[in-house]
A and B are shown apart, each in its own frame.
Chain A
Amino acid sequence: MSRVIGVLSGKGGVGKTTIAANISASLAWDYGNNVIAIDANTTSSNLGLLLGSYRFPVTLNDVLKGKAEITDAIYAHPSGLKIIPSSTFNEDIDADPEKMSEIISELDKYVDFIILDCPPTLSKETIAMINAIKEAILVTNPEWAALLETKRTIDYLKSKKKKILGVIINKADLEPEEIEKIKKALNVPVLGVIPEDNAVTKSVDRRVPFIHLKSKSRPSRALKNVMEQITGQTFPNRSIIERIISWFD
């Protein structure tokens, strides 16, 4: 049985796909797990692009439409990760997300982790993806609109009895007391604060997860702390110096 984790956000544009790509690639490359990352955003998909390519000959949309087998839509990333991308063709937007749970149960026994990069907001598509996941990570920015929508998503996840691992506050530089306030307001753990940094922009441009392209950058150090909380294991091959530096970030 695998861990099925949805990466969600109440609002779009907070960096959810970037975080999902980095978590997935790190679980595979650094921790050596068998991981499948699914672009569960079937109408506005970007996960494939962040991991190397924009368009794929067979996608999750084809599987959801009953036109292809799931095995036709799996691709290998050089980190060891497997990707199931979504379509970027307009003719594929009518895919039925309700079949997602069925797909997850097909993959469940073959891998350690299934990471779903979910669509933003509580749309019908997102709700179908929430039904398919077991655990959730929320990504937000420290702005009112994003935080309020995150709270709403947390309440929905709680009503569905999904395990919430915590919140990642992205593109932010926050004081400890500000983090504490957010934690109190959302009533879930804060897994980490990822600072806004040029390393992330470069990694998106070069289509390589920042945790591997710029592994010693501030965002990578912050994400490595997040990885330790997700896995419950220390980040492999992390030097003591880097660990000490990350305490002062």
Chain B
Amino acid sequence: MDFDLFLEEASKRVKKKKLKIKSVSSKKKKELMEKIILDDECTTVPQTDSGRRTYK
């Protein structure tokens, strides 16, 4: 196990996003869901070098 990486990860602060619930129509919600799930319009999970090499 890479203990340096463990220490870095355990002490890392990730800024939590300020959230607001917006009421949107079911049509808009469906469009948003399709964009995110089917068209990949969402944030990508950061990868290690091994992860980037594996899924290139």
Q: Closest CB-CB distance, B34 to chain A, in whole Å?
A: 7
Q: Is the CB–CB distance between B46 and A110 below 8 Å?
A: no
Interchain CA distance A49-B1 in the complex, whole Å: 14
Interface pair A72/B17, CB less than 8 Å apart: yes
Q: Which residues from 122 to 179 on chain A have a C-beta closer than 8 Å to any C-beta of chain B?
A: none
How far is it, in angstroms, between the C-alpha of A49 and the C-alpha of B47 when the chains are bound?
10
Task: Determine the chain A residues whose CB is within 8 A of the CB of B45 once the complex forms.
Answer: 48, 51-53, 75-78, 83
- Report, as a range, how many residues of chain B touch the other chain: 20 to 34
Determine if B47 and A34 form an interchain contact, defined as CB atoms under 8 angstroms apart: no
- In the complex, which residues of chain A have a beta carbon less than 8 angstroms from the beta carbon of B1? 205
Q: How far is the CA of A52 from the CA of B48 in the complex (A)?
A: 7
Interchain CA distance A89-B45 in the complex, whole Å: 18
Query: Does A212 touch B at the CB level, under 8 Å?
Result: yes
Query: Could you tell me how many residues of chain A have their Cβ less than 8 Å away from some Cβ of chain B?
Result: 39
Among B19, B38, B40, the residue within 8 A (CB) of A68 is: B19
- Does chain B have a CB within 8 A of A229? no
Query: Taking CB as reference atom, which chain B residue is nearest A72?
Result: B19
Q: Which residue of A lies closest to B32 (CB)?
A: A71
Question: Once bound together, how far apart are the Cα atoms of A77 and B44, in whole Å?
Answer: 6
A116 located at the interface, meaning its Cβ lies under 8 Å from any Cβ of chain B in the complex: no
| Nearest A residue (CB) for B35 | A71
A206-B37 in contact (CB<8A):
no
Say yes or no: A213-B50 contact (C-beta < 8 A), given A52-B45, A62-B19, A74-B36.
Answer: yes
Some 22 contacts from A to B, beta carbons below 8 A apart, are: A29-B55, A34-B37, A51-B45, A52-B48, A54-B12, A55-B9, A55-B12, A56-B14, A57-B17, A58-B19, A66-B21, A76-B40, A78-B45, A78-B47, A78-B52, A83-B45, A110-B34, A110-B37, A205-B1, A207-B50, A208-B51, A212-B55
Interface on B for A, CB 8 Å cutoff? 1-2, 9, 12, 14-17, 19, 21-22, 29, 32-34, 36-38, 40, 42-48, 50-52, 54-55
